[in-house]
Structure 1
């Protein structure tokens, strides 16, 4: 692996494990709770131990003064929930623009199995090619999404993560299959570090149990957005997630250590 990529992966993770908090949702959902005062949210989650935060390039000036030396990832494509099809992710930036914005890595979203898969495959291949020339790591957010596809099916998720490796990504994010046993197939489908998405918030215990299951299956961490940045205490939930990923705590112990009540 390129020295620059290795060095920058160390900026967005620790010892091959990653706690990333994506906050690019402003372009997708609008200025939802947790993102209006994004400065305070970034400060809170990084104080809680998040290794890196992720936004679109235009938010970079609001990130750097508040990230407490955490890593920074710039996301390079997007869609909106009020547009004609949210699966149709269009390019919003370049690797060079991300570097100019102070990014340690870039990311790109793919919906494998959707009608837009062919263009998104091409986009990822081009981003990986350019990024490798600059020593910039690429996080591929590779989901199984499309007509008739179960977004949590381990076989489909395994295909999605393998696709990311085949195209040259350095880390891959995908959905959690629901249990550690099935997620082992996903992790074994690639040599890349696999991190799980959070999805819609379902409660602290459910979030941390998913993280624990992914780690038990050999996963490399998380890239969880709404369950962290929309939490009533973003610092505390970030600390809990970090404890599971980096300290191998159970969900219950992580909640307790973070001062969050264990849900019934």
Structure 2
């Protein structure tokens, strides 16, 4: 039954998806609010840009679903909250899901739900909490026919590079955690890009027949972002989940059109850049 909802997530032109993540405020970090202070306006801007999906927390999902527009992006609902992004880290780390997350997702007419599978060096208790979260959600998601997107997130030791939110792009580590996500019953996997984008096929291979979407990370110049997107798609990715590279861009509609062109129409990077407009590449990083 979950395929009925997945049909709303993947674009019929390409069987790929662009999911714009706007759930950053859920994690309680001040720096994550840049560009999304006014969420009603942010969601309206993204919807107008026309991606395939928007990723939101339960508290803000109504901002998307109340918009009387058809067609409009599908909802991917974030189900879990964690305190792993601070610098320095809190002494007590946690990752918790809403007890009625799947029922909320059904009420909000979500196309999928998203949950973390976190690997923090030296903190196995956080990974254990994530595994327990996933097992609970998997049972409820099966009951209601709700697709479960698992986000395996391999992080560096917080003491490195000044601490804070630092992902680890090691291919072996990412592939191992992605495989665990598949074994836990993921319907979709949202994975970090590998340090060498040409290695990403290894991540896709261990996921088997489960679609893999690639996370975007921090802001990057437009051409860099589009070429990276082109590469991971060639490596077998079924889509992308980008947040800051869209919501913090000076032309969200333009960068969305460019990404959709690469994803769904096979546009070259040069042709996609032309959809954004001159002068936005470096300005967007200011």
CA distance in 2, matches of 1:262, 1:251: 15
2:187 maps to 1:170: yes
Residue 163 of structure 2 is matched in structure 1 by none
**Residues 1:35 and 1:143: Cα distance change in structure 2 (over 3 Å):** same
- Which of these residues, 106, 113, 124, is aligned with residue 106 of structure 1? 113
Greater shift in the superposed pair: 214-223 or 15-24: 15-24
Higher-Rg member (1/2) = 2
Residue 35 of structure 1 is matched in structure 2 by 36
**Residues 1:211 and 1:85: Cα distance change in structure 2 (over 3 Å):** farther
- Which of these residues, 50, 54, 77, is aligned with residue 80 of structure 2? 77
Cα shift readout 1:219-245 (whole Å, capped 9, x = no counterpart) = 111011111111111111111111111
Residue 160 of structure 1 is matched in structure 2 by 177
Contact 1:179–1:213 (CA under 8 A) maintained in structure 2 = no
Contact 1:179–1:214 (CA under 8 A) maintained in structure 2 = no
CA distance in 2, matches of 1:152, 1:41: 29
TM-score, with length taken from structure 1: 0.89
CA distance in 1, matches of 2:137, 2:278: 40
Contact 1:144–1:151 (CA under 8 A) maintained in structure 2 = yes
CA distance in 2, matches of 1:139, 1:163: 13
Calculate the aligned-residue CA RMSD, in Å: 2.5
- Which of these residues, 235, 240, 247, is aligned with residue 253 of structure 2? 235
Question: Structure 1 residue 77: deviation in Å?
Answer: 0.7
Contact 2:21–2:242 (CA under 8 A) maintained in structure 1 = yes
Residue 95 of structure 2 is matched in structure 1 by 89
Question: Structure 1 residue 144: deviation in Å?
Answer: 1.6
Contact 1:179–1:210 (CA under 8 A) maintained in structure 2 = no
**Residues 1:131 and 1:229: Cα distance change in structure 2 (over 3 Å):** same
CA distance in 2, matches of 1:99, 1:256: 39
Cα shift readout 1:81-122 (whole Å, capped 9, x = no counterpart) = 456179743224521122223322111012135421111112
SS in 2 for 1:172: strand
Q: 1:61-72 residue pairs with structure 2 within 5 A?
A: 61-66=62-67, 69-72=72-75
2:154 maps to 1:144: yes
Contact 1:205–1:262 (CA under 8 A) maintained in structure 2 = no
Uncovered stretches (5+) of structure 1, i.e. residues with no partner: none
Residue 237 of structure 2 is matched in structure 1 by 219
Contact 2:94–2:129 (CA under 8 A) maintained in structure 1 = no
Residue 202 of structure 1 is matched in structure 2 by 220
Greater shift in the superposed pair: 214-223 or 160-169: 160-169
**Residues 1:87 and 1:47: Cα distance change in structure 2 (over 3 Å):** farther
Residue 8 of structure 1 is matched in structure 2 by 5
**Residues 1:232 and 1:193: Cα distance change in structure 2 (over 3 Å):** same
Residue 17 of structure 1 is matched in structure 2 by 16
Contact 1:79–1:86 (CA under 8 A) maintained in structure 2 = no
Contact 1:173–1:194 (CA under 8 A) maintained in structure 2 = yes
**Residues 1:212 and 1:179: Cα distance change in structure 2 (over 3 Å):** farther
CA distance in 2, matches of 1:127, 1:12: 19
Cα shift readout 1:189-233 (whole Å, capped 9, x = no counterpart) = 112111111111122122212211110101111011111111111
